[in-house]
Chain A
Amino acid sequence: MIATFLGADWQTLADAFGLGGIYALMAVGIGLVFGVLRLVNFAYGQLVMAGAYALAFAYERGWPVWIGILLCFAVVVVLSVAMDWLVFRPLRTQTPAVMLVATFAVAFLLQSIALLWFGSLGKIAASLSALNQPWTVGGVDVRKISLVATGVAAGCLVALVLLLGRTNVGLHMRAAALDFRTARLLGVRAHRVIGSAVLISGLLAATVAVLMTVQTPLVTPDFALRDTILVLAGVVLGGMNRLVSATLGGFAIGFASGFLGGALPTDQSQYLPSFLFAAVILVLLIRPAGLFARRGAQAVERV
């Protein structure tokens, strides 16, 4: 049974699960903020990029791994909160189009800052590169990072489900995502709910940065940009209006991307994004509300 699955080996499958997990985390990060703000944060990838630079910064100075990870989380969280205060808050009552364009501006601004500060050649963040070594499970070699990424993603998702389902702040976030005005009428604090969503999405971006630099230790200003576009496609593919469907969409596109990338010969895998996006368009033509959206679900009213 060690043989193959659809012509792919177990390493490819494990990689696909790992990438699916990472993309699912990004999808949750984007979906959480979308839920409470009706804002598609295109600058989400640049949060991951900033975290990756923090890891590279620590690696170049030879700091211990845990300090690098701590720095990564600190930088990403501070940046997320700053983004909320400086951009999202003042624009909260504007149309979704204005907010979307604003996040484009933020994305390119952050990318330009990275280019100015760190140059275009890129920095190396390789403090966790040992995770690229294989683990032998039942006679099969699988890279450690694939298992770690899958495990971390699963852990984060379980923690989030518990937070949303069992705590008051989680209940407030769910209510705000369903009907913000009524939630406020009941005394749910808009700033706190939005702040919590932004904070959690920042923590997830930092986690993604740590996992991604293992496979892609070269950190450039466009780090995670392509992944963000794929995740956004996945989120729309799954269905934006519910966190679960957005997450499944993110996982699906990550898994497909990882699986096809590993299974296709190298000279064909360069066409992979074209195939993925063609598939996204096809699915949306057939199921405009999203692949995993509930039947009869309608667009939610904006705040």
Chain B
Amino acid sequence: MSTPVLELEELEVRHGAVQAVRGLSLTVDRGEIVGLIGPNGAGKSSTLQALMGLVRPAAGDVRLHGHSIVGRRTEDVARLGIALVPEGRRIFAELTVEENLRLGSAGRPGGDLTRVYELFPIVEEFRKRHAGALSGGQQQQLAIARALVARPEVLLLDEPSLGLAPQMVDAVFAALEEIRDRGIAILLVEQRAQRTVALADRSHVLSNGRLRLTLGPEAANDSDTLVSAYFA
């Protein structure tokens, strides 16, 4: 079996005395969506922070194409081809949509705007506007578009559906499918368990920092399994 694009091995993350992630191992490969679900405080966001070099793992390894990236600076992780769509979108409201997109290629120059516009026509339409003037759903599309400009190999998303109207959630999830089909490895952190399980190739349920269960898409309609996994 070839080396997966992204590998976490026995990852441990601590915030002071709090052990946020305990011995988490998972892989994401090209053209795969892997879901990471679980209640608040389960360690999902801590996992992403450790991946991006925002916090240093207490133990374990993170590998991109088999090479460890632990200890690298955040900006260097981005330059290696891992892009994060952060929780709360974190777009630059005072800058224009176009400037936000230009920042997306800060790490990997020569960004590919046409393919991003294909995916999110609304972003192209509003490119001259201030990003703060967009609706929440449009801002989420911009945040994903901004991450894609750098043509990442791995896309991490931290609760992209948070605070969005149901229609917008549909649009965002549909976009993720298309991004997967472009051959990008996607790690999707979500609270919407059922939607995530249905979309992802497999979903890991985290609780108290530990991986409790792994579900395939077929489990999406099995609400008993989902509920018991969540409250295990």
A residues touching B (Cβ–Cβ < 8 Å)? 168, 171-172, 174-175, 178-179, 181-190
Contact = CB atoms under 8 A, between A and B. Distances in A.
23 contacts: A168-B102, A172-B103, A174-B95, A178-B92, A179-B90, A181-B74, A183-B103, A183-B106, A184-B74, A184-B75, A185-B54, A185-B75, A185-B84, A185-B90, A186-B78, A186-B83, A186-B104, A186-B147, A187-B107, A188-B75, A188-B103, A190-B73, A190-B75
A3 B34 CA distance: 78
B69 to A, nearest CB: 14
A185 B143 CA distance: 12
A187 to B, nearest CB: 2
6 residue pairs, one from A and one from B, having the closest CB atoms = A187-B107, A187-B78, A182-B90, A184-B74, A187-B106, A188-B106
Contacts of A185: 52, 54, 74-75, 78, 84, 86, 90
A299 B41 CA distance: 28
Contacts of B95: 171, 174-175, 178
B94 interface: yes
Contact of A186 (B54, B73, B94, B106): B106
**Most A-side CB within 10 Å, residue of B75, B95, B108:** B75
A189 to B, nearest CB: 5
Nearest to B84: A185
Contacts of B147: 186
Given A178-B94, A179-B90, A184 B78 contact: yes
Contacts of B79: 187
User: Which interface residue of A171, A184, A188, A190 has the most chain B CB atoms within 10 A?
Assistant: A184
A202 B74 CA distance: 28
Interface string B145-162: 011001000000000000
B106 A172 contact: yes
Nearest to A192: B75
A289 to B, nearest CB: 16
Given A181-B54, A187-B108, A175 B103 contact: yes
Interface string B32-65: 0000000000000000000010100000000000
A49 B127 CA distance: 46
A298 to B, nearest CB: 12
Given A179-B90, A182-B86, A182-B92, A171 B108 contact: no
B201 interface: no
Contacts of B124: none
A187 B75 contact: yes
B187 to A, nearest CB: 15
B99 interface: yes
Given A183-B106, A185-B90, 6 more contacts: A171-B95, A171-B99, A184-B75, A185-B52, A185-B86, A187-B106
A186 B83 CA distance: 7
B202 to A, nearest CB: 26
B212 to A, nearest CB: 29
A120 B52 CA distance: 53
A292 to B, nearest CB: 16
Contacts of A175: 92, 95, 103, 106
Contacts of B78: 184-187
Contacts of B103: 171-172, 175, 183, 186, 188
